[in-house]
Amino acid sequence: MPVCHFIGIFAAENVENAPQRPRNGTNSRMERTLVLLKPSTVQRALIGEIISRFEKKGLRIAGMKMMQLNDQILEEHYAHLVKKPFFPSLKASMMKTPVVAMCLEGVDAIAVVRYITGYTNGRKADAGTIRGDYCMSNQQNIVHASDSPEAAIAELARFFKPEEIYDLGTLNMDRLYAVDEA
Ligand code: TYD
């Protein structure tokens, strides 16, 4: 996805009372987003390292589990790509091992996670982004991250049952944000 799309995300993410929002806190910019650690991450033993990047940034982990994906969930998840010539290899690559599904939360979390994930193709992604630092591929690109508030709602519902996403309350909030920020 082109970098200019990230700017659109910053402009478009202020959706009031969206279901992906954590219940704690009153700030309408608190968001939840879906991240998948792809099979290439699992195969390369990078799970801990990539989770650590998100934790160190200050994103809170509200849900996390391993899942073996199948045709049905991948055809829904990548519905916008099913007609692309690379779809069969994308689908096969996403079923090679279980993935790690994560629900991350924070102020502006959807855009922040996309920003630190970086450009789709790891060879073009900026150094310092996850894809820029950990991969050489357009497909084996370490993580999936929701690209809009609408996608975050649909994707969290696709990968998590409601009871698998936890209310973290005010945990760490006073260290992560100013009082008028979160
Ligand atoms: P896309 O939604 O365009 O990118 P992003 O993951 O950055 O939101 O594409 C989804 C996935 O499809 C991408 O992570 C890897 C795969 N893909 C390919 O295998 N080949 C391609 O040429 C593209 C554009 C994507």
The CATH code of the domain that includes 169 is: 3.30.70.141
Whether residue 94 lies inside any domain: the answer is: yes
Whether residue 181 lies inside any domain: the answer is: no
Residue-level pLDDT at 7: 34
CB 138 less than 6 A from any atom of ligand 1? yes
For 116, phi and psi rounded to 5 degrees?
-80, -15
Q: Locate 95 and state its tokens.
A: 């079923």
12 vs 154: which has the higher pLDDT? 154
Residue-level pLDDT at 66: 98
Give the residue, by CA position, lying nearest to ligand 1 atom 12.
139
Whether residue 102 lies inside any domain: the answer is: yes
Ligand 1 atom closest to residue 120's alpha carbon, by position in its atom list: 7
The model's pTM:
0.88
Residue 16: pLDDT band (50, 70, 90) is: very low
Name the strand (E) or helix (H) holding 106: strand 99-107
Task: Tell me the CA–centroid distance for residue 168 and ligand 1, in Å.
Answer: 32
Give the residue, by CA position, lying nearest to ligand 1 atom 15.
139
Whether residue 154 lies inside any domain: the answer is: yes
Whether residue 161 lies inside any domain: the answer is: yes
Residues 89-122 pLDDT 10s: 999 999 999 999 999 999 999 999 999 999 999 9
Residue 104 one-letter amino acid = L
- Shortest CA distance to 150 belongs to which of 1, 14, 5, 3? 14
Whether residue 77 lies inside any domain: the answer is: yes
Whether residue 152 lies inside any domain: the answer is: yes
Residues 150-163 pLDDT 10s: 999 999 999 999 99
Whether residue 114 lies inside any domain: the answer is: yes
Domain extent at residue 162: 3-176
CB 52 less than 6 A from any atom of ligand 1? no
Arithmetic mean of pLDDT over the chain: 89
* Number of structural domains found in the chain: 1
